[in-house]
Structure 1
Amino acid sequence: MPLDPAVVRALRQAVEEESQPPIVAEQLQAWLLAVGEGDASVDAQMQIYDVLRQQIKLDGDDAN
């Protein structure tokens, strides 16, 4: 079942407002789809979580 377009817009808007890379919104969307469809095992969810965590920019991160 696809995500509601309003959810997709809200994800993208939140990511943009927080100055995060656009890939974060795409990966969050993929994660929500996988969880919603029951296709994501705990291991797969943790892999997605780890990828997202590495991509999110936090205050104080070096801007190389």
Structure 2
Amino acid sequence: MTPIKILLRQQPFLGGDEPLFADMLIAGLFQWARVVGAVDYLDGEDKLAAWFSRLEDRYGETLAKTRG
């Protein structure tokens, strides 16, 4: 996750000011883990959690449908 953390130091999304397909791919992995898993991979990851939160703000209705 280090390359993603480095990118998110300087910009809100992986591609800059707007989310790209890459954001959705990575966010999908975290969403899947949240729905099926016992481990919160975003816990303690300030930059990643803030990034995921920005995606939830934009696409929250879609993400909410997969909360499990």
Same-fold call, TM cutoff 0.5: no
TM normalised by structure 1 equals: 0.29
Q: Which has the higher contact order (CA 8 A, sep 6+)?
A: 1
